Structure 1
């Protein structure tokens, strides 16, 4: 019997019924192996017209692809009914080698640009800000030579706590509300993302939506899909290179509206790809009377999916 490397630890986890009709249902899930417990119990109730759009919440490596392939073989799942939304091309290469379907559709496009994160006319107080929990993989120590640094840390989610937290002039004493995070980002000249491996990293795109440039190290996960020569510097993973990149943006400020509007334009490109896939399934299964673009607009939510405790008996067994 397959044993997953990780499963959702809580009864509430990312799952959403996106579209439901007699001839087609679309569900949004995050990752594959994380969902093993309910997949093994309910896969026998899946219909040929049930489709799963898979959010890639962490870098989908060759190992992830092999693990997903084992799960699909053991449960007899149809790969044609799962559509992976990759954050970077190498994820697609890893999974297509195992026969999985999907395309580049970076998860940061699901950040609602009208919700909170936006440019504010505030005086700059920090040379750089790092929004990220104090987990070891975030590599805060690489910012040790950055002057006037602000740190905003959240829940560590059970990850190994980082060593070497750099000197700083601001650190939140309690969790900040999104509007407070937005204010802090706008008080900085650039944002830091220094991990080598994670997902596409919402914080990276939140910096861009607030109109500040990003200093990033080379990464696997997909955040660099949003970077260009104007809005970012990708530097070597050492403290001197990070400090040098920060100083560049201190001396060469960027237009926040240009940064934000370019991000929104790319987000709309990815969203259109999602809608086209949705339209393809509507057409394939003869669903009429549904305008895919209007449906998308009316059912759009921040980050596309929400965490809930799904009633799988009601969703799959009682249908």
Structure 2
């Protein structure tokens, strides 16, 4: 199977490229805006133009996994047009190029739990009505709708994976990265929120397994699938795990301010994902320990 990974220089995309390359059943092609002269199957895409017609007219793929796009809620509020172009318009351009040049190529769209906003009840099921609270969440939802459009009208097979809180070796932003920097450099640490906010974390190793489960299940009728572990963990619990690796004397203060666009509580219903054969392999304590060890090396 020939797989094209768009956004192969990012956290998830680069991890996917390594993961699939280890399987002789997959021939992996990578695509991103950065130049890479070292890799054989690598396609450079113009960041200002994103001409996917060239990509799909000159190559043949069985599957395209879209890992590209902007991934910052705060930036989406400040620069909504940029976020729209990267997270929504580019998805349309990819699918339109597939429609014209390779209509048999399947498409996996990496979406986000941000489409749910602040759900009224937990766990969050795929059938819940989306209610995004940020431009980022809105644009991810619109990308899902574009996938549905191309399936309904052009029979382009796709699925959208609503990823919750992915973390792990290689991620240099978001909560764990911020916590690690502050634990290393400060004795008094200030964090946003109250500490009671919760997330449903999934380690990058498990995320890769989950994506492959979705691929093998062949659910490409514009399906929506939650990608998480179904376990709710508070920010305070994450802080407590960090203290075990640094010092119990570290003072952590929450300022009570909720950042715009941030949800309060998340826990996914992963019944569908588990039915596809997924089972988590990395406990949060082990994943954080590995992350802290890795962060010390960079």
Same fold flag (TM > 0.5)? no
Q: What band does the TM-score fall into relative to the shorter chain? A: 0.3 to 0.5
Normalising to structure 2: TM-score of the pair?
Answer: 0.35
Pick the structure with greater CA Rg: 1
Highest RCO, 1 vs 2 (Cα 8 Å, sep ≥ 6): 1
Normalising to structure 1: TM-score of the pair?
Answer: 0.33
